[in-house]
Structure 1
Amino acid sequence: MHPSVFYKYTSANTASIVLESSRLRWSSPLLFNDVAEFQRMPRFDPTIADANALLSELIASVVFDGVAIDEERMGAPMKLLLECARHLVGNGLSRARLIELLRVEQPDADQKVERELRRFFEQRGLNRARVLCVTTTYMNDAMWGNYAESHTGCVLGFRHIAERSTPLLEAQQVSYCEDQPIVGSGLDFLLYGDSPELRARTIHAVCYTKKTGWSYEQEWRCLTWRPNEVTKQHGDYLFYPEELESVTLGVRSTDGTERLLRDLLVKKYSNAKLFRMQIINGDLKRTALPLPPVT
């Protein structure tokens, strides 16, 4: 389910800059804390190398036993291979001999695919990628400590606005796994090739997966590519005042920070609410702060 509100943890200084300018910074993955961002290429299970042996057995089953497969989805080379197999069997070729002829060893097939994928993303250039990282909760102790300057900063809440096609409508949830993410079966890849579905899973695997050590972030992200911004590694992009849903001050936020952000909300963000985190019975709790009426 797509969350209705996303949260961005910031320092107090960054929050004031964001609210003054009505701009959010989207950064290149080259600036991220996780140096492995966009570096882990996905894999097939079974691998393409293992699937080669399975493929010969499958084609033999199709030709000799009438096993049904989706021939319409096959690429032209695989359709031609199946047609040739049927022709040879029709002329007396045995099952064992067909399997022998079809079995081709490609021990480095998966490595070749990974190299091509890596080359594709390198050509796009990570300095052209712009990512907005958000999360789904304002109640994350680790995030307060790591991204809001030890609770002295704040959390900005943003809603997406469908009628204005705001970027957060396109936010996708990050997946967490220790091993290379699996995008499909090597056998399906051999049979059906580079399908739109496979491309979508591959893009998600590269751009929206991280190792499990980062799972505490509960991250969602928006991604765009800016080929005209190659000279820098970030972009500061406008958001609508109505997108700002709330500002939540940290437990250690100063009174000066509260006054500054309160004034900005009253001046520019009449629909946003103001909160402060407090420690109550050893737990973080969020309490609402009053805002003067808009005149």
Structure 2
Amino acid sequence: MLNSKQLPKYLRYAYEDALAGGVDAQIVEAIFETAILHRSERDSWPHKRMTEDKLAALGTLYKYRDATNVRHWQILENQELWFPRPSTFNDPFDSRLLIRFDLMNPERMDAFLRAEIVRNEPGAGEHLIVAKMQDLKAALLNPVQHDQAARRWMAPLLDRTKILCLGRRKDNILMWSHYAQNHEGFAIGFDTVRLKNLCFELGGYLAGYVAYRDNYPILEFPEKDSKLTKKDVLTTLLNVKSRIWAYEKEVRITLFDAPDKSGFAADLISELVMGCNMTPSCEEKLLKIADTQYPDARVYKASMSRDAFSLEFNQVR
């Protein structure tokens, strides 16, 4: 019999309600065992990138900012958007998933290793290539050596990578608490069409919803004849996090070989939102910036609802 305590809370309640409602126990167990299997298998699916149209259709994406951080104000004052490297993120697992070279089929592994050796040692003869392939193959089948080699292989890619992390909603209470100084900060709303165009001008980008999972997805190096593309692998590598971060409901825009920061036109910002605990002096400062630099942006003030654990927004300009 299925042990309901092993189910996630939302499934456990549904399971117990179904039994209490008189649904046949065997049918209920079959359904929920399938749901558990589906969830475990889903952890290994590649995460699909977002199309340009879907990014544009989001309308507005938000960056929560700390009013005590001078650099955060400089986004508005200097009209400069920063693109941080993944190595600066607060989650040690973030963007550090490994491609599993040890899961390649033997023929593909041989071809990959040969290509890497020839690329790094163009003058190598066949005997040297074969010997190095044998050594590298043995290393890839050793977990410790594999992971060290995989990190070295991926390091140049991550060094080229910049990621802009944004939220889908301005009413995310936890995001205000964690990233906007306990609701004393502000949120910047970016127009997604103009943001898409800016990132395209900087050399192109990958966009994606962040997927939240319990286990690492299995990232295999894409085969030549596989439907799995390098972009799919990259999107999964850079856009999958632990389920504990699911409250963020994050969208990421990933750029390669882009500058650390870029200037932008005022119409990139469509909304400015003041936290419900923002001090009067910071409110005055933000409103002044809005009036002088962002005349077309809507400005909101957040407040706590009288009736629910939620935020309400009053447009003040």
What band does the TM-score fall into relative to the shorter chain? Answer: 0.5 to 0.7
Q: Which digits, 9 at most, give the CA deviation of each residue in 1:90-129, with x for residues without a partner? A: xxxxxxxxxxxxxxx9995595876654323213353x43
Q: CA deviation at 1:21?
A: 0.6
Query: How far, CA to CA, are the matches of 2:231 and 2:59 in structure 1?
Result: 24
Q: How does 1:12-51 map to 2 (within 5 A)?
A: 12-14=67-69, 15-43=72-100, 48=103
Q: Which digits, 9 at most, give the CA deviation of each residue in 1:130-156, with x for residues without a partner? A: 221101011111111110000100111
Query: How far, CA to CA, are the matches of 2:281 and 2:151 in structure 1?
Result: 48
- Residue 182 of structure 1: which of 218, 224, 227 is its match? 218
Q: How does 1:7-156 map to 2 (within 5 A)?
A: 7-14=62-69, 15-43=72-100, 48=103, 117-126=150-159, 128-156=160-188
User: Alignment partner of 2:166: what SS?
Assistant: strand
Partner of 2:18: none
Partner of 1:251: 276
Q: CA deviation at 1:170?
A: 4.8
Q: CA deviation at 1:290?
A: 2.8
Q: Which digits, 9 at most, give the CA deviation of each residue in 1:199-233, with x for residues without a partner? A: 12211121111111111111111222338x7xxxx
Partner of 1:5: 60
Partner of 1:288: 314
Query: How far, CA to CA, are the matches of 1:135 and 1:213 in structure 2?
Result: 16
Query: How far, CA to CA, are the matches of 1:130 and 1:164 in structure 2?
Result: 15
CA, structure 1 residues 42+13, in 2 after alignment: closer, same or farther (shift >3 Å)? same
User: Alignment partner of 2:87: what SS?
Assistant: helix
Contact 1:41 1:180 in 2 (8 A): no
Q: How does 1:146-225 map to 2 (within 5 A)?
A: 146-161=178-193, 165-167=197-199, 170-183=206-219, 192-193=223-224, 197-225=228-256
Contact 2:176 2:182 in 1 (8 A): yes
Task: Decide which structure has the larger Cα Rg and report it.
Answer: 1
Q: CA deviation at 1:29?
A: 1.3
Contact 2:98 2:219 in 1 (8 A): no
Contact 1:41 1:205 in 2 (8 A): no
Query: How far, CA to CA, are the matches of 1:195 and 1:209 in structure 2?
Result: 21
Give the unaligned 5+ runs of structure 2: 1-53, 112-136
CA, structure 1 residues 177+110, in 2 after alignment: closer, same or farther (shift >3 Å)? farther
- Residue 237 of structure 1: which of 262, 280, 305 is its match? 262
Give the unaligned 5+ runs of structure 1: 56-73, 78-104, 230-234
Letter in 2 for 1:48: L
User: Alignment partner of 1:171: what SS?
Assistant: strand
Query: How far, CA to CA, are the matches of 2:155 and 2:196 in structure 1?
Result: 33
Q: Number of paired residues?
A: 229
Q: CA deviation at 1:194?
A: 7.3
Letter in 2 for 1:182: I
Contact 1:19 1:264 in 2 (8 A): yes
CA, structure 1 residues 30+24, in 2 after alignment: closer, same or farther (shift >3 Å)? same
CA, structure 1 residues 35+278, in 2 after alignment: closer, same or farther (shift >3 Å)? same
> What percent of counterpart residues are identical?
21
Instruction: Calculate the TM-score normalised by the size of structure 1.
Output: 0.66
